[in-house]
Amino acid sequence: MAQDATAPAATTPVIRVGALYKNYRMGAETIHALNGVDCTIDENEYVAVMGPSGSGKSTLMNIIGCLDSPSSGEYWLSGENISKLGDKALARVRNRRIGFVFQTFNLLPRATALQNVEVPLMYGGVGRRERRARAREALAHVGLADRMAHKPNELSGGQRQRVAVARALVNEPDILLADEPTGNLDSRTGRDIMRLFDALHDSGQTIILVTHEPHIAEHAARHVQLRDGVVTEDHLTRQAAGQATAQASGHASGHAPRQATGQANA
Ligand SMILES: Nc1ncnc2c1ncn2[C@@H]1O[C@H](COP(=O)(O)OP(=O)(O)OP(=O)(O)O)[C@@H](O)[C@H]1O
Ligand SMILES: [Mg+2]
């Protein structure tokens, strides 16, 4: 996060994982969910992780998101070695540096939108007044200024996911992770959420998202394909530069046009 954008040569990657393995022991059987994943993700990248069901996408996201630890291998987050941290330290890193959005929103059902967004700040020890102010700001940023007092069951699916995005962003994380964020949304609402992600990316957020759907993956500038716990493909989908010029002034309210004009109309 605190990297100097004017000195790209010296930038530390946001994510670097090397020879990452994850095994699950199930009785007599061992499931090899990750089989040596190597991957580096730089600041302001927009990455879609794809692959068949069971290929290890969520396992990888959970490790990157500090929700789980690898069986072996290395994980560096913004230059800090995460692989050796114990549960407590891991939880602290997760709270400070990771924003996670899930397919099923994972909001507290009895809490209002505002209270839900305050949760990470509460864990972070932020005082009540500042917590309120920052949660309000995050909700306004995702277009929910007029829904702060609503509980999850008083919100639409798209609005719930926006609350989850606000909660993920309220601590200004190094990276926003999203595991099938549109999986429970109809296609129009899914498009709204993707426009929000695009605008966040345009304003500098680093994003990794898992999706099955090619039209969702299209929003990302890089595709990483997993199969049987290994990366089988990793390529850029378009010029990051073109994307940046097309959207230098995007706002999170979701009005970002995706089209690069290719011409200056002064
Ligand atoms: N907690 C767990 N205990 C045992 N096995 C697990 C556990 N979590 C995942 N697995 C196994 O690890 C493999 C990878 O699972 P993972 O959830 O990462 O797949 P995925 O690519 O996210 O699939 P999907 O697209 O269906 O969400 C699967 O074979 C799965 O059954
Ligand atoms: Mg999954």
Task: Using the mean position of ligand 1's atoms as its centre, give its distance from the Cα of residue 102 in Å.
Answer: 15
Give the residue from 128, 254, 115, 91 showing the smallest Cα distance to 188.
254
Report pLDDT for 262.
32
Protein residue with least CA distance to atom 3, ligand 1: 24
Strand 222-227 relative to strand 72-77, pairing? unpaired
Q: Which two tokens stand for residue 181?
A: 């964020």
Report pLDDT for 116.
98
Ligand 1 cavity residues, CB under 6 Å: 24, 26, 31, 33, 51, 53-59
Polymer length in residues for the chain: 266
Atom of ligand 1 nearest to the CA of 56: 18
Task: Using the mean position of ligand 1's atoms as its centre, give its distance from the Cα of residue 61 in Å.
Answer: 11
Identify which ligand lies nearest to the alpha carbon of 225: 1
Give the residue from 219, 186, 180, 222 showing the smallest Cα distance to 200.
219
Domain-wise residue ranges, the chain: 12-246
Protein residue with least CA distance to atom 24, ligand 1: 53
Cα(125)–Cα(173) distance, integer angstroms:
16
Report pLDDT for 139.
98
Protein residue with least CA distance to atom 8, ligand 1: 59
CA 95, 100, 104 angle in degrees (round to 5)?
130
Tell me if the pTM is above 0.85. yes
Contacts of 171 (CB under 8 A, 6+ apart): 95, 96, 97, 99, 120, 121, 124
- Spans of the chain, pLDDT less than 70: 1-10, 238-266
Architecture of domain 12-246: 3-Layer(aba) Sandwich (3.40)
